[in-house]
Every structure is written in C-alpha cells, then in structure tokens.
Amino acid sequence: MVYQDDGSCITSNRKHDFYHFMLAEHPLDAQEPYYKVISQAEFEELWHEQLQLGIEDWHRTKSLFSVGTRVEGYIEAFFPQGTLINLLVPQAVGITDTSALKSETPAEWMYPRYRVIAEVSGYDEVNQWVLLTRAKVMGSPYEEAEVV
C-alpha cells in the first residue's frame, strides 16, 4: 500500500491510472525516510478500509462474472499470486495460475495485452479478484483502442 501526500492510497490489487499495478520488485529498505513500518493488524485495518471503498464495484463485478461463466480479457500483469487478467469491465480483475497458463502457451504469447479466455471458478475476497480456471491465451494482443 502506498499513501501519497494528498491522502490518496494506491493498493496492489487495483490498477492505478498512472502507476499501473504497484508491487515491489525488490526488498524495501525500511530505513528510508519515506517508508513507515506498520504492524500486521494496522495493515489489515488499512487494507479493509481500501476494500470497502471499492465494495460497490466488487459486488457489480461478482454479479457480472458468476461461477461457471466463460470470460474473455487480456493479460494485465504477472504477480507472485498468478497472472492478472483485465476482464474488459472497469475495476474487474481476474487471476489465473501462471504455471498452468505457461504450460499450454507459446512463450511469445505470454505478454501483457494478449487475449485470454477462461472460466470463472470463484472469488478472492481479500483482493477482490475473480478466480479463473481453464485459461487459454488466444495468440493475439488487444489493440490500444480495445484496452480498458
């Protein structure tokens, strides 16, 4: 989580208009003056507050993407938890197993914006992500004008 000087917050579970998805790519140096070490309980409280700000979007997303539904989107980012899929609806993010996706996909297709079809298998309430299974990369990227 990043709290900016203006009081706004950027979380790693949602795409930011300017910063995209924020996730540290290396260990952070807690001695740097712009970092604040907080307890797990403080983090959980702040995370919950941020989730509540997007709860209407989350309920809408779950109503649009019910379990068993076939969906289309595109690769947005690769996270340790899996591959994030843009579901072509504002604030709708899916996640699928990267290892399974890589096992059936040519390496040259494993890039952001490549089209993906998948099936909704459930929901990650902690991150407000749609869980996807049977994901397949279709071999062609979305054009800039098509990207949500």
Q: 142 lies in which domain range?
A: 1-147
In the chain, the number of structural domains is 1
What's the mean per-residue pLDDT of the chain? 88
Q: Is the pLDDT of residue 66 over 80?
A: yes
Phi first, then psi: what are they for 61, rounded to 5°? -60, -45
Span 6-11, average pLDDT: 75
> pTM of the prediction?
0.84
Which CATH number belongs to the domain containing residue 81 in this structure?
Answer: 2.40.50.140
Report the half-sphere exposure of 6 (CA within 13 A, side-chain side). 3
- pLDDT tens figures, 131-147: 999 999 998 888 765 65
Calculate mean pLDDT across residues 51-74.
96
Tell which wins on pLDDT, 94 or 43. Answer: 94
Q: Of the candidates 92, 2, 94, 91, which has an alpha carbon nearest to the alpha carbon of residue 46?
A: 2
